[in-house]
């Protein structure tokens, strides 16, 4: 089985993130980059599937030079190889363009399964999996809290507000995972050493057959008109419970007409 | 006046609140037209009319609920091609965003997600990075598609609603094989009682590690029920298995923006804030006065939740009696 995992490098969420004054794109330089957390779950699921059913796991990352660190980390978890789509022309791409660029690469490499996180911590659009399924013309098995393969059938539990849906499709397919699905492994020392020798193919737009007019900030389908820091919340009323904390809280709810 | 398509969500004919919110926004832009999939459109008609839908495009086939998002996106794409609407509005739920995603690819359009407001000129307000930055953005390619966060706007009935509005217009869009890729074989409902859905509730009561165990989550549920609220949980609580994962609020869980958010025994880690920071009013109950969640509190009680919450539930009961 040929599994492609889409891995995004995102700024550490524990640090304050901001937009650049000029073009209102995310300032990625000033903050440490990490693997998007849900993508670690996607990697773990890919490795488990490859272990159980045989196959190869390829990491696909679109991002700046710095993203190479995240690719190494993904390889040290046990993935076999990686493709790094790296080109200045991609900077500022929105979801529609990112899905186009990733689909171009995936079509070239071929796949039985593409696995993504269900959301990235920086863009938080949650759009990519559905967009890729649409572009690749394969079933969308998104928001998976469980994946079961019985080739060519693939079944997932799709998380919903009321519980979950059981969903079935035939491979090839696109899967996105939620956090509940597994517990990602830590890279072992051996894994870290092995990762240094694993192949990473770096592709430019031309290498990947991506039309430069369809990607990047200038061509983005959405644009930021203006932005500002959210004003801090006004300081609230804090009371200490002297045996009447619940009474006071109820009084507050009553004045605010919640009860 | 150009049409604005609003993808209607309903359970068995009962129109969801978020759909009324979308219609309220759509009226600023043009003439709202609802898009309905599945049966029971007749049952939802009155409510759609009340919120200003001039007509309702109805695709009554059962296949719309049998497959993951494909058929719904195909229906919307066909309507976009035929009606050239000014915009398409969907609920900013995970599924709503996925429908938007597929529609965007089909129509070459930009999508704005998690909009909390939208002007008549289609400039959307979004809050990003866990709510710390507010941006205004717009779509500049194709037909603007906007996924609006539930609870962000107050649904207002249309005072000028014409009699006989929300005319039901059947549409016949055949569902392609490509859209039938992922088939839903079973819907598994997990216990939620009569509580509202987390992302749609006007009030959310969440418990964290301070609650101490699965049994004591009953306390959080009692408080929620006394307020007609949904129950949420921090990751510490869901990881410990005290409450099911789908109720997790935060960066890797749900984003909620209710009128009132009550955080009980939650410290307020940045990843938790990312899911609740834009709530209108925030109440905190925590025994540690230094807990960072108090920075967000409109009203906070420093105290033991096992004393404060039961008293609060009792007081609410008395108030409502
Ligand atoms: C990549 C990443 C993603 C994450 N995503 C999420 C997410 O989506 N959602 C999320 O919530 N977290 C998330 N986290 C975890 C987050 O960092 C915190 O660990 C978590 O939110 C802590 O949960 P808590 O506030 O319930 O627990 P704690 O931080 O342990 O706080 C418990 C609080 O309860 C109070 N307390 C204890 N006993 C009582 C009592 N008897 N009465 C009153 N108060 C009491 C304590 O004073 C304390 O403030 C994520 C972390 C990472 C690294
Ligand atoms: N630049 C990228 N390179 C590789 N994968 C990506 C990229 N952007 C997004 N993804 C994938 O898409 C998922 C959802 O991201 P998003 O739709 O941005 O919230 C992520 O969890 C990744 O798996």
If phi > 0 it is left, if psi is from -120 to 50 it is alpha, else beta; for residue B52 that is left
Distances (CA, A) of B35 to B6, B93, B225: 6, 17, 33
**Prediction ipTM score:** 0.90
* CA triple A189-A190-A195, angle to 5 deg: 100
User: For residue B16, what pLDDT is reported?
Assistant: 93
Q: Which of A154, A221, A232, A235 to mutate to test the interface with B (most CBs of B within 10 A)?
A: A221
Averaged pLDDT, B281-303:
97
From A37, A155, A256, residue closest to B252, measured CB to CB: A37
In 3-state terms, chain B is what percent helix, strand and coil (to 5)? Answer: 35, 30, 40
- Mean pLDDT over all residues of chain A? 93
Which residue, among B24, B52, B48, B18, has the nearest Cα to B36 in the 3D structure?
B48
Residue B192 in this model has a pLDDT that exceeds 70:
no
Separation CA B294–CA B317 (nearest Å): 26
The neighbouring-strand residues paired with B227 are: none
Percent of chain B's residues with pLDDT above 70: 99
Percent of chain B's residues with pLDDT above 90: 80
Which residue, among B132, B273, B112, has the nearest Cα to A228 in the 3D structure?
B132
Which residue, among A206, A181, A126, A219, has the nearest Cα to B147 in the 3D structure?
A126
Contact between B132 and A17 using a beta-carbon 8 Å cutoff: yes
User: For residue B162, what pLDDT is reported?
Assistant: 76
Cis peptide bond N-terminal to B184, omega within 30: no
- Specify the residue for token string 């550490």: A12
- Tens digit of pLDDT for each residue in B81-98? 999 999 999 999 899 999
CA of B281 to the centre of ligand 1 (A): 20
From B110, B295, B309, residue closest to A221, measured CB to CB: B110
Lowest-confidence region among A23-27, A67-71, A201-205, B126-130: A23-27
Averaged pLDDT, B33-56:
95
From A94, A169, A247, residue closest to B183, measured CB to CB: A169
From A158, A229, A236, residue closest to B299, measured CB to CB: A236
Rg (CA), chain A: 21
User: For residue A125, what pLDDT is reported?
Assistant: 84
- Specify the residue for token string 């700024």: A11
Note the pTM of the prediction, 2 decimals: 0.90
User: For residue B310, what pLDDT is reported?
Assistant: 98
- Specify the residue for token string 């598609």: B145
Phi, psi dihedral angles at B203 (to 5 degrees): -130, 135
Separation CA A12–CA B59 (nearest Å): 44
User: For residue A230, what pLDDT is reported?
Assistant: 83
Nearest residue in B to A226, CA atom: B136
Contact between A162 and B114 using a beta-carbon 8 Å cutoff: no
Contact between A160 and B141 using a beta-carbon 8 Å cutoff: no
A45 contacts A147 by C-beta, under 8 angstroms: yes
Q: Where are the beta strands (DSSP E) in B99-143?
A: 111-118, 124-128, 133-139
Distances (CA, A) of B129 to A11, A23, A244, B149: 10, 17, 37, 15
Residue B191 in this model has a pLDDT that exceeds 70:
no
A56 contacts A2 by C-beta, under 8 angstroms: yes
Contact between B102 and A238 using a beta-carbon 8 Å cutoff: no
Report which ligand 1 atom has the smallest distance to the Cα of B268.
25
Distances (CA, A) of B68 to A45, A164, B94: 21, 12, 12
Residue A192 in this model has a pLDDT that exceeds 90:
yes
Whole-angstrom distance between the N-terminal and C-terminal Cα of chain B?
49
A135 contacts A170 by C-beta, under 8 angstroms: no
Contact between B311 and A246 using a beta-carbon 8 Å cutoff: yes
User: For residue A23, what pLDDT is reported?
Assistant: 76
A237: contact with B, CB 8 A cutoff: yes
CA of A39 to the centre of ligand 1 (A): 22
Averaged pLDDT, A70-94:
96
CB of A9 within 6 A of ligand 2: the answer is: no
Residue B55 in this model has a pLDDT that exceeds 90:
yes
Separation CA B63–CA B59 (nearest Å): 10
Which residue, among A172, A112, A179, has the nearest Cα to A143 in the 3D structure?
A179
Select the more confidently predicted residue: A80 or A119: A80
Token pair of B168 as six digits: 């039901």
CA of B263 to the centre of ligand 1 (A): 10
User: For residue B252, what pLDDT is reported?
Assistant: 82
Q: Which ligand is nearest to the CA of B276?
A: 1
- Tens digit of pLDDT for each residue in A143-185? 999 999 999 999 999 998 888 999 999 999 999 999 889 999 9
- Tens digit of pLDDT for each residue in A203-255? 999 999 999 999 999 899 999 999 998 888 888 999 999 999 999 999 999 99
Contact between A96 and B104 using a beta-carbon 8 Å cutoff: yes
Averaged pLDDT, B216-243:
96
CB of A126 within 6 A of ligand 2: the answer is: yes
Residue B128 in this model has a pLDDT that exceeds 90:
no
Separation CA A223–CA B139 (nearest Å): 6
User: For residue B199, what pLDDT is reported?
Assistant: 85
């Amino acid at each position: 089985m040929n599994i492609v995992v889409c891995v995004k490098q995102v700024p550490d969420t524990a640090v304050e993130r901001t937009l650049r004054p000029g073009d209102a794109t995310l300032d990625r330089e000033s903050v440490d980059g990490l693997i998007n957390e849900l993508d670690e779950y996607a990697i773990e699921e890919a490795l488990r599937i490859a272990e159980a059913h045989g196959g190869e796991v390829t990491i696909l990352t679109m991002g700046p030079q710095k993203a190479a660190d995240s690719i190494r980390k993904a390889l040290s978890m046990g993935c076999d190889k990686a493709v790094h789509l790296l080109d200045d022309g991609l900077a500022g791409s929105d979801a529609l363009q990112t899905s186009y660029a990733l689909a171009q690469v995936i079509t070239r490499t071929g796949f039985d399964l593409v696995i993504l996180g269900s959301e990235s911590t920086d863009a938080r659009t949650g759009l990519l999996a559905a967009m890729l399924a649409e572009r690749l013309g394969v079933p969308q098995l998104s928001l998976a809290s469980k994946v079961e393969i019985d080739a060519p059938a693939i079944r997932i539990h799709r998380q919903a507000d009321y519980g979950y849906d059981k969903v079935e499709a035939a491979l090839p397919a696109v899967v996105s995972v939620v956090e509940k699905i597994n517990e990602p492994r830590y890279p072992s020392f051996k894994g870290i050493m092995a990762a240094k020798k694993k192949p990473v193919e770096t592709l430019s737009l031309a290498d990947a057959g991506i039309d430069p007019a369809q990607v990047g900030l200038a061509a983005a389908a959405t644009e930021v008109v203006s932005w500002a820091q959210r004003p801090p919340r006004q300081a609230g009323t804090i009371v200490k419970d002297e045996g009447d904390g619940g009474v006071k809280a109820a009084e507050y709810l009553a004045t605010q007409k919640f009860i | 006046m150009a049409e604005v398509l609003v993808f209607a969500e309903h359970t068995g004919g009962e129109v969801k609140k978020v759909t009324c919110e979308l219609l309220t926004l759509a009226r600023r832009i043009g003439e709202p037209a609802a898009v309905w999939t599945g049966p029971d459109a007749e049952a939802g008609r009155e409510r759609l009319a009340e919120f200003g839908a001039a007509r309702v495009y109805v695709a009554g086939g059962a296949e719309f609920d049998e497959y993951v998002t494909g058929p719904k996106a195909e229906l919307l794409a066909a309507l976009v091609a035929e009606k050239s609407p000014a915009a398409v509005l969907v609920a900013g739920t995970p599924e709503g965003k996925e429908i938007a995603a597929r529609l965007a690819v089909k129509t070459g359009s930009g999508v704005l997600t998690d909009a909390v407001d939208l002007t008549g000129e289609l400039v959307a307000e979004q809050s990003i990075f866990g709510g710390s930055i507010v941006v205004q953005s717009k779509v500049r390619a194709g037909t603007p598609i906007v996924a609006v966060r539930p609870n962000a706007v107050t649904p207002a009935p249309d005072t000028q609603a014409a009699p006989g509005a929300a005319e039901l217009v059947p549409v016949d869009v055949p569902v392609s094989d490509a859209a039938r890729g992922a088939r839903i074989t079973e819907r598994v409902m997990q216990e939620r009682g009569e509580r509202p859905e987390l992302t749609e509730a006007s009030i959310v009561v969440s418990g964290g590690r301070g609650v101490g165990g699965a049994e004591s989550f009953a306390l959080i549920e009692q408080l929620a029920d006394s307020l007609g609220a949904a129950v949420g949980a921090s990751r510490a609580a869901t990881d410990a298995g005290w409450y099911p994962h789908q109720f997790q609020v935060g960066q890797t869980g749900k984003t909620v923006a209710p009128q009132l958010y009550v955080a009980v025994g939650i410290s307020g880690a940045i990843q938790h804030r990312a899911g609740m920071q834009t709530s209108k009013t925030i109440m905190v109950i925590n025994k540690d006065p230094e807990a960072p969640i108090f920075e967000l509190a409109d009203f906070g009680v420093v105290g033991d939740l096992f004393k404060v919450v039961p008293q609060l539930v009792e007081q609410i009961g008395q108030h409502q009696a």
